[in-house]
Amino acid sequence: MQLRQPGTGPGTQKAPGSGGGGTTARAAVPRARKNSLSALLDRSPRLRLAGLLTAPAAWLGIVYVAALAALLITALWTVDSFTGKVSQTWTLDNILQALTDPVYQAIALRTLWIALAVTVIDAVLALPIAFFIAKVATARWQKLLVVAVLMPLWASYLVKAYAWRNVLAEGGLLEWLGTPLGLSSPGYSETAVIITLAYIWLPYMILPIHAGFEKVPDSLLEASSDLGAKPWTTMRLVVFPILVPSIIAGTIFTFSLSLGDYITAQIVGGTTQVLGTVVYANVGAANNLPFAAAVSLIPIVIIMVYLFAVRRTGALNNL
């Protein structure tokens, strides 16, 4: 900014403690500049709120709600089997087929199982890691470890999935390590999908739990020990109950991200079908957008049910 109040230019400023000439008066401290727009905003909270929220609300309305509504509507249309074009005839067939066809029921259950397994594995891995970062490591290590947890997020999702494809492949790292122990690699399978997703989404579980641990003052752990509790009892009675909202916040991430995945399933899943791959196939090869929309409603409903179930725990304040 080039605007200056009179008397504040560098020429008139004196270095503090420059000594000598103590009699010459220093320039007065400049008054705060007036700005009628800022003053107006300061006076009217409604205007302030409008200025703050108009753009994000518009974005939310158009991009988010409208897109979801379009999806819902598309699910109620059908595809003309001759022309392959979407015809806007209203029908519930797509949704009924997605819900009642045993093939899709099995796929939905498998997807749910994969998401649950990934979530449980991540929670079990993240708890000790987050505890170590927040409560054991020194301040210096804490920063380094948080960066280390975040680092995989800088790499492309595809790169990570293909890295696991190599690890799981025939003659890959896992087989090489496992053979002497009598273990075999799961190969490209449902198990491989679970392992890979658990790896990819782990940071999303560690971060909220780490934040949760940070909120538990050390004095609570000391007080528990002081009152006679052994470490495991302290974990069970003090730390875990306080952490529940943070853990649930983490599970919302891992669960919903796993539920919607289709890339990992294609890369390491072999023939494993999940809801995501069904959607992908119907949008692409099968050219049945209405059916894809109907299938994609399943994970949306599952997640809404889950969010509804956990809303009382306060987890939604920890996202």
Q: Which residues of this chain interact with another protein, rule CB under 8 A?
A: 217, 219-220, 222-230, 233, 237-238, 241-242
| Nearest to another protein of 79, 134 (CB atom) | 134
Q: Which is nearer to another protein, 239 or 275 (CB)?
A: 239
Nearest Cα residue to 164 out of 145, 192, 131, 142: 192
Pick between residue 72 and residue 244 the one whose CB is nearest to another protein. 244
Nearer to another protein, 95 or 238 (CB): 238
If the CB atoms of residues 26 and 230 are measured against another protein, the closer one turns out to be 230
Q: What is the nearest approach in angstroms of another protein to the Cβ of residue 223?
A: 4
User: CA–CA separation, 177 vs 90, rounded Å?
Assistant: 56
Closest distance of CB 237 from another protein, Å = 7
Q: Name the residue type at position 115.
A: A
Q: How far is the CB of 317 from another protein (least distance, A)?
A: 14
Min dist. Cβ of residue 234 to another protein (A): 9
For residue 220, the minimal CB distance to another protein (Å) is 5
Count other Cβ atoms within 10 Å, centred on residue 122. Answer: 28
CA–CA dist 257, 319 (Å, integer): 14
